[in-house]
Amino acid sequence: MGRFRDALAQPRLGAIAEVKRRSPSGGDLRPNANPAELASAFERAGASAVSVLVDERFAGTWDDLRAARMAASLPLLAKGFFSTRDHLETAKAGGADAVLLLLRDLDDGQARELLAVAGELGLDTLVEAHDAEELARATALGAPVIGLNARDLGTFEIDRSGQLELVARAPRDRVVVAESGILNRAHGAAAEVAGADAVLVGSALMRAADPAATLADLLRRPYVKVCGLTNEEDVAVAAEAGADLAGFILARETPRRAPAVLPVPETMLSVAVYVGERGDAPSDLAQLYARENGHRARDGVLLRGEEQVARVVDRAWHEEDPEHIERARAAEGRIVLAGGLSPENVGEAIEAVRPWAVDASSSLETEPGIKDHNRVRAFVAAAR
């Protein structure tokens, strides 16, 4: 396939940064947006590709695509309501590497014809679905890149949980893009562990004071988890500090046991932490350790539903573990680094391991289960 698909089919979560001046649902977003400046800035910030709205309903034109092409070398997605060969030929002439095909507006015959035309022209496609029926159609059509839109284009309502379930059900031999409703790092993490290869981010960037810096922060790793939270005040401080994951230990043997998985803001994902047997507390993710000698085992797993989405590399329970960092460095796949991390050493640990997430608890406390707010803030700042 072409370079648009290849740019998204990388090991880590990619991002399609979108240039749009307005949207039918949100009104004016950035009326004076300069496509050339934005495309260039998004490329420097680490975008995998840039989407350019060329439809007048979004205050876009084909000139916007041409301007972006002149300013940036990364793959460009032409985004509009395309239904004819002329549309695709215009996109190709304007410098697009890929075009959007909306299954909401195309029957299977039309979609199949446009996929063939795109192939003739050397264009990739982003075939967009927003429900299970359209996902099945995209799969049957053989679409290499499938976009799953959280926004219902009829009502403009966002259903992020429905989108994540579609992402999880999408075939793993396709490149999957989570579109719309990605407003922060936690939303990106949720899409990633559900199975998305990339996210498409538009409105959040267009509303930001610095779109490129906002994109760079969305893509920056590691995610930061503050664990051992037991009260709402500490959750609020962790959220305000910028933590992405909130951990609630539900194992019986710890003095840091939480009364429940407490509510978290939408900027965070909740993680229920278990030892031995997994419980059924409602949470975005679960962290599970085996029980050994009455305590947790050294390492654990991070689960979304029943699926393992990361490996937790931790230290032995209340023991020295001199090989901890080396074990983490040698581990493959998505790694959550835990055990002995603090504001003072997390930067060095990140440099050595390059984990997907870092996790701290006891080093951030005044007493078991009670956080030192200054150390929580310092830990998040050092990790970010």
Strands 14-19 and 198-201: parallel
Query: Which of the following is catalytic: 40, 51, 134, 179?
Result: 179
H or E, element range at 98: strand 98-102
Q: Determine which one of 40, 92, 128, 361 is catalytic.
A: 128
Decide if 79 is catalytic: yes
DSSP 13: P
Length of the chain: 384
The CA distance from 9 to 7, in Å, is 6
- Annotated catalytic residue within 51, 180, 270, 361: 180
Tokens found for residue 189 = 């993490």
Residue 296 parent element (H or E)? strand 295-304
Alpha helices in the chain (DSSP H): 3-8, 35-45, 62-71, 85-93, 108-121, 132-140, 160-169, 185-194, 203-206, 211-219, 232-241, 324-330, 346-353, 373-383
- Of 20, 92, 225, 371, the active-site residue reads 20
Question: Residue 252: phi, psi to the nearest 5?
Answer: -70, -25
Q: Which helix (H) or strand (E) holds 100?
A: strand 98-102
Q: Give me the sign of the Cα torsion angle 90, 91, 96, 97.
A: negative
Long-range contacts of 325-333 (CB under 8 A, 24+ apart): 325/349, 325/352, 325/353, 328/352, 328/353, 328/355, 329/353
Select which of 23, 149, 184, 361 is catalytic.
149
Please compute, for residue 217, the number of CA atoms within 13 A of its CA located in the half-sphere on the CB side: 20
Active site residue 180: yes
User: Is 157 one of the catalytic residues?
Assistant: no
- Alpha-carbon distances of 274 from 115, 303, 364, rounded to whole Å: 47, 11, 20
Q: How far is CA 311 from the centre of its chain?
A: 18
The candidate with the shortest Cα–Cα distance to 104, out of 58, 148, 53, is: 148
Catalytic entry in 18, 43, 134, 192: 18
How close are the terminal C-alpha atoms of the chain, in Å? 35
Q: What is the DSSP string of 176-233?
A: EEEES---SHHHHHHHHHHT-SEEEE-HHHHTSSSHHHHHHHHH-S-EEEE----SHH
Catalytic residue numbers read 18, 20, 79, 128, 149, 179-180
